[in-house]
Amino acid sequence: MPARERLTVAVTGPTGEIGRSLLAALDRSAGVERVIGMARRPFDPSAHGYRKVTYHRGDVLDPVAVASLLAEADVLVHLAFIIMGSPTQTRAVNLVGSRNVFAACTAAKVKRLVYASSVAAYGFRRDNPRPLTEDVPARGSRGHYYSAQKAEVEQVLADTLAGSDTEAYVFRPCIVAGPDAPALINNLPYTQISRRLPPSLSGLLGALPLLRPVLPDPGVPLQLVHHDDVASAMLAAVLAKGPPGVYNLAGAGTVSISQIASELGWHAIKIPHFMVDATAQAVASMPLLPAQMRWIQAMREPVVMDTTRARRELHWRPKHDALATLREMIAAMNDD
């Protein structure tokens, strides 16, 4: 690519689990001239050896900071989001912040906007097809703040960009994991919930040696995608290696909660579906519970995605399957 076509890429939320891998991929890419990151915490790109990355502290709720981030950008990657929090805490950053970013992209005539939505945008619904393709509408789950917000933000994106020159690449990754993305284990809803199960189940758990954690397994298959594979898909979008549109992202294969427990050296116990439903309903009616517990909703129905479109259109070739991703994450945790 001639030097004059090399891109300036702005990134909101580059300090998070996906952002860190993305910065490394952008910094290595011959098609990228400059990367400008923005989030709230302090971050020093030179400490990571990046040559092209600069960083400004700023909040997506501040339209001036967002406009300044975009002043020279050809492409914007929007990752700033609050995943764990109460419905009201998260709504400001996720809805208002995203709207600010999308509107600023059209005002600045940014060529491409790459947005990390989520599998959760489909909603955890019994009537969803399996596997989910990108043609399935993103309806979200009203009972789950993150899922509902992810669906709503996709609609805000479509409405804001309608009629503008900015093209949108919307990714719907499954759970992101890997050595630099331990949030799956840190936030496992069952790690929290197993301490608060009904007495009947606590009795069963009591029969097991409780020196190691016990994860209740509702039998739902989980897809995982490695953070570096998410970064490679996003880099393909930044460089317009395929058409704009919506893309599912997941590594090959699935893992079960029992497999996760076994890889961690923990225990698992199978639990019936009705118990997950009952717990999810109880959790939904308790506003003061930790955000992690609300994620039990995600265990009510399998949400398994088809990733043919990303492979075909963006030539995406994830290097890690679900089990390899899990194992890399656990090995890194054990090394710490």
Interface ranges with ligand NAP (CB under 6 A): 12-19, 39-41, 59-61, 79-83, 93, 97, 116, 118, 173, 175-176, 183
List for the chain the helix, strand, coil content (%; round to 5): 45, 20, 40
User: Least separation, in Å, of the C-beta of 148 and ligand NAP?
Assistant: 13
Of 79 and 280, nearer to ligand NAP (C-beta) is 79
Nearer to ligand NAP (CB atom), residue 52 or residue 115: 115
Taking the complex as a whole, the smallest distance from the CB of residue 43 to ligand NAP amounts, in Å, to 7
- What is the smallest separation between the CB atom of 5 and ligand NAP, expressed in angstroms? 28
Nearer to ligand NAP, 61 or 205 (CB): 61
What does each C-alpha distance from 8 to 29, 126, 269 come to in angstroms?
Answer: 12, 43, 50
To ligand NAP, the closest distance from the beta carbon of 61 in angstroms equals: 5
> CB of residue 227 vs ligand NAP: minimum separation in angstroms?
8
What tokens appear for 11 in the block?
């990134």
Query: Which of 239, 305 has the CB closer to ligand NAP?
Result: 305
Q: Which is nearer to ligand NAP, 16 or 216 (CB)?
A: 16
Q: Which residue has the tokens 């996906």?
A: 18
Residues 6+ apart with CB under 8 A from 60: 12, 38, 66, 80, 93, 97, 98, 100, 101
Residue 142: both structure tokens together: 């009203």
Smallest distance, ligand NAP to C-beta of residue 223, A: 10
Helix orientation angle between 145-161 and 98-107, rounded to the nearest 10 degrees: 20
Pairing of strands 214-217, 53-57: unpaired
Buried b (16+ CB within 10 A) or exposed e, 175-208: bbbbbbbbebbebbbbebbbeebeeebeeeeeee
Integer-rounded Cα Rg, in Å, for the chain is 20
- Nearest residue to the partner ligand NAP, using Cβ: 16
Taking the C-alpha atoms of 17, 19, 22 and 26 in order, what is their torsion angle to the nearest 10 degrees? -150
- The nearer residue to ligand NAP, 147 or 197, going by C-beta atoms, is 147
What's the min distance (Å) between Cβ of 1 and ligand NAP?
A: 27
Name the phi and psi angles at 148, rounded to 5: -60, -40
Supply the minimum distance, in Å, between the C-beta of residue 40 and ligand NAP.
3
If we measure between CA atoms, which residue out of 182, 191, 259, 184 comes closest to residue 220? 259
**Which run of H or E residues covers position 147?**
helix 145-161
Nearer to ligand NAP, 96 or 282 (CB): 96
**Inter-axis angle of helices 98-107 and 63-70, to 10 degrees?**
40
**Nearer residue to ligand NAP within complex by CB, 16 or 302:** 16
